[in-house]
Chain A
Amino acid sequence: QSALTQPRSVSGSPGQSVTISCTGTSGDVGDYDYVSWFQQHPGKAPKLLIYDVTKRPSGVPDRFSGSKSGNTASLTISGLQADDEADYYCSSHAGSYTLLFGGGTKVTV
């Protein structure tokens, strides 16, 4: 299986909004509402930001929001802050209780 497709990089100024896309197929993103998003700072473990397409774990600011349309999921970061500069990964259920990650997107603030 190929990785989900994400843009390599996106950028924005402090206070702006950015959106990261995650494109899969009808066998993964399109078929299941089990899309998650993770933030990873250099040298650190990933951190869960969004699960089940739109849900936020406790402690994650509501500046982070998720959505999905067809085979493409999206993560929107509103009110961009300096600390949001990191790598972001999407993942999706890919059938038979397997997971598939995206290639990652570097966000520059």
Chain B
Amino acid sequence: QVQLVQSGAEVRKPGASVKVSCKAAGYTFTDYYLHWVRQAPGQGLEWMGWINPNSGGTNYAQKFRGWVTMTRDTSISTAYMELDRLKSDDSAVYYCTRSEVGSGSFGDLDYWGQGTLVTVSS
């Protein structure tokens, strides 16, 4: 069955960076965009961007351009999201989720990872 399994919780100091992984299973990794969405405590969902695992092409939300990097390793069906220069308000649960490439739809995020809690604290 389709699964997106994320890495465990992280604690970082302000100014540091964090890299979260998302391992895909149960489907062809390169057939689906991998999106990253975050949710601060008690807040709503915020879209960060996507990576096309086939080409490696990325598309970041304007807010995150210059400080987020999304990569992938197709040999192990794993996507990564790295966020630099962390601030306390980057503390959030970070989710990976997928949508089908070339489906004619956009935003149909049908499977989600379990989420990774990132805490930024001095």
Contact = CB atoms under 8 A, between A and B. Distances in A.
Nearest to B45: A101
A32 B47 CA distance: 17
B46 interface: yes
Contact of B45 (A52, A89, A92): A89
A92 B109 CA distance: 11
B62 interface: yes
B44 interface: yes
B44 A52 contact: no
A93 B12 CA distance: 32
Interface stretch (B19-27, B72-80, B81-89, B111-119): B111-119
Q: Say which size band chain B's interface belongs to.
A: 20 to 34
Interface in A54-95: 55, 57, 89, 91-93
Interface string B38-68: 0000001111011000000001011000000
Interface residues of A, number: 29
B105 A45 contact: no
A18 interface: no
B108 A99 contact: no
Contacts of B105: 34, 51-52, 55
Contact of A45 (B46, B62, B112): B112
